[in-house]
Structure 1
Amino acid sequence: MCCSTPGKHTTLTAIMAEKHTKPNFNQPQVDELVKRLFKLTPAEICSLPSYDDQNFYVAVAEGGEYVLKIVNSEDSKNVGMIEVQTYAMTFLHQNGLPAQTALPTTSGKLMSLEEMDCGYGSQKYLVRLLTYLPGTTISQSTLTPQLLYETGKTAARMDLILQEIDHPHLNAIQRENFIWSLSNTPLLERYTHLLDGDPLQEVVKSVIHKYKTFVVPKQSNFRKCINHGDFNDLNILVQPDENDGYKISGILDFGDMNSGYYIHELAITIMCMMTEHPNPIEVGGPVLAGWESVLPLNEAEKDCLYPLVLCRFCQSLVLPRQFMLLYPENVEYLMLCSRRSVDLLPMMWELGKEQVEKVWFESAAQFVDRKR
């Protein structure tokens, strides 16, 4: 999963301060939680992959399928932030996008703070039971131009709807030092030493410099919004449609929601779709066309799309290496996106801004012409 990662929303500083934040509930504990909190009887429980939260597929004897999501102990301290994320999912669902919703507990609340010892002392974890959405991840489908177009269109619709959210704890998603926000690209400088001896280190440093000297001066012209922040190949579900293609059937993982800019969501989406495509450079055109069918870019946003995609590649290359030091048992999952970035970042850097933009913007225009 590209950058993806259900639950990778704590800052590195927070994780380093307290390494053992990831829940480690066993199946009997999950069974007990579901019975006690929701008065449901689990018939099947399966562990699902995650970054620093813990997720379980749960089928219940009463009928129905769910995802039990147990938030890491660090983020569980920020109840307001999790409340906003949960509300955002419901708000999108109410406005026609296929997002999960939370099942109320027996007390009528959408989450419960549970204290548990997972092997390194008693800690508190927020627990939610979310609806299970149909479909397979977009990473398992063929990324046709039409599906990429729909992905870009959905990303833009999502951010426009999120911008209408009104919630008493909305300020909780400001997240000034959130390490995965593209606004915080310069924070990567703290971790470039993890690439010592790797030729990619110079590319990463050059991209960070480009961000500070080229993107930052134009940022005042970016349009602000609320970002999903991780619209990637494992957080998008699809189902076959009536035209032998696919339609988007689910949007997952709102753990990276943050106050950002529309152009950030588009850059993240393009980067993540590139990691799953046999000809990555071809991804940008149809995704961009889909996005602009809803929300056309202004000149500053157009000018910064390429460097922001590079910034996301740098984040996905550098940050998992830090997390691997903390969670060596989760190396395979942490490296899912980083492996592709090793190849794609230098390729994109060597092609250069002019050539990449030519491909993206010309193919976007051609795609729109074909749809007319």
Structure 2
Amino acid sequence: MTSKILREKFIRELVYENFNITVDNVTKLCGYEDENYFVGTARSSESYVLKIINKDESCTPDIFRGINEAMETLFSSGLNVPRPIHTRNKDTILTVEIDGSSHVIQLLSFIHGDIFDDVIISESNFYQVVKDMARFFGKMNKILQNSNPSHQAARRDTLWKLENFTLEKVGYRLKYVEDTELQENCHKILTKFETLILPKLGKFRRGLTHGDGSAGNIVLKKLNHLDCNETSYQFHGIIDFGDTEESAYVFELATLAAFMKCHALELGFNLNRTLDACVAGYQDGFPLNAIEIENLDICVKARLASYICSSFLYAHLDYENRIYIKRLYESASKILKSQ
């Protein structure tokens, strides 16, 4: 089913038959592991994202029921996250045959707004958005820890999980990093992380995490000022729970801080102020304890190194999507080389 027309026809029929929703238009969205589609209806206020999960992870459909359960918990708590849409059979996922393989299907509400990655923003506005976003992440982690949603999603154990950033599990990825100096930096950080952080895992608070606090997953809302021509934004919501799994909450903050520092560098903003905004915001939503604060810096470096190793490997395996996969490589490598 490679034809664009055939794929759109398939999605229209699938959504109507299983969710009782009449589709007006279908647009493919960015992604490289899963297929994502914007699904519009005749009513502009009712839009959705349809996700076709890759065939490997579709082998464990209950994990995605668990992820949907977590999103429903957050949505019902008043947080602006995608809301899973139930099928006619009252389930939150489908499993369908596509091109001879079984795939999990999710239909989620679409959050309207501007993606953080795509906007031109002033420096002061940037720090405020980062702080508000980090506060949201803190609130989100606190809700998931206290609500104790299904452990189906907690069974997931991917190599993106920072706990798995070890020589034994991901050391082979270092050879794909073409820059020799950067490869050495990543190796040093990996060794330090494995030696100093992993023995403390039992002292870090844990629970379900979002797992990918990058600017591409942050939705902003444009503010209109009648008294000036400057455009400003406020934090609006978070999308893409595709990396949700159980992990240490300090790793959630480390991932957020690492990617926000990358975004700040791309925009020419101050990295220390960016980190401070991340920490201050998260503290407001879910106060860090002493051991989490003490070890955050190494965890941020570990996430940057983990991203670099992963991006080189996946760009090698998926050449067609290499630009999307390595979109933060330049900034991440500059940050690591400067430390």
Q: Which residue of 2 aligns with 1:26?
A: 7
Q: Which residue of 2 aligns with 1:115?
A: 97
Name the SS for the 1:199 alignment partner.
helix
Name the SS for the 1:207 alignment partner.
helix
1:257 to 244, 248, 262: 244
- Alpha-carbon distance in 1 for matches of 2:285, 2:31: 31
Asked if 1 retains the 8 angstrom alpha-carbon contact of 2:156 and 2:245, the reply is yes
Q: Which residue of 2 aligns with 1:224?
A: 206
TM-score by length of 2: 0.88
Name the SS for the 2:180 alignment partner.
coil
28 and 147 in structure 1: CA distance in 2 versus 1, 3 angstrom threshold: same
Offset of residue 38 of structure 1: 2.2
Mapped pair 1:83 → 2:65: yes
1:274 to 256, 261, 267: 261
TM-score by length of 1: 0.80
340 and 26 in structure 1: CA distance in 2 versus 1, 3 angstrom threshold: farther
Mapped pair 1:202 → 2:194: no
Asked if 2 retains the 8 angstrom alpha-carbon contact of 1:89 and 1:101, the reply is yes
Q: Which residue of 1 aligns with 2:322?
A: 331
Offset of residue 34 of structure 1: 1.9
Q: Which residue of 2 aligns with 1:20?
A: none
Asked if 1 retains the 8 angstrom alpha-carbon contact of 2:177 and 2:308, the reply is no
- Alpha-carbon distance in 2 for matches of 1:246, 1:329: 33
- Which blocks of at least 5 consecutive residues in structure 2 are unaligned? 226-230
Mapped pair 1:310 → 2:310: no
Q: Which residue of 1 aligns with 2:111?
A: 133
- Which blocks of at least 5 consecutive residues in structure 1 are unaligned? 1-23, 350-372
Asked if 2 retains the 8 angstrom alpha-carbon contact of 1:45 and 1:59, the reply is yes
Residues 183-232 of structure 1: CA deviation (Å, up to 9, x unaligned): 11113312111125522110000001111222123333212222111122
Offset of residue 148 of structure 1: 1.5
31 and 171 in structure 1: CA distance in 2 versus 1, 3 angstrom threshold: closer
Give percent identity, aligned residues only: 25
Q: Which residue of 1 aligns with 2:228?
A: none
| 2:198 partner amino acid | V
| 2:235 partner amino acid | I
161 and 242 in structure 1: CA distance in 2 versus 1, 3 angstrom threshold: farther
Name the SS for the 1:250 alignment partner.
strand
Offset of residue 322 of structure 1: 1.4
| 1:248 partner amino acid | F
Asked if 2 retains the 8 angstrom alpha-carbon contact of 1:88 and 1:165, the reply is no
Number of aligned residues: 319
| 2:90 partner amino acid | G
Q: How does 1:106-185 map to 2 (within 5 A)?
A: 106-117=88-99, 122-141=100-119, 142=121, 144-168=126-150, 170-176=151-157, 178-185=158-165
Q: Which residue of 2 aligns with 1:356?
A: none
Mapped pair 1:36 → 2:17: yes
Residues 16-65 of structure 1: CA deviation (Å, up to 9, x unaligned): xxxxxxxx982222222223222333221110001300010111236521
Asked if 2 retains the 8 angstrom alpha-carbon contact of 1:149 and 1:289, the reply is yes
- Alpha-carbon distance in 2 for matches of 1:294, 1:54: 32
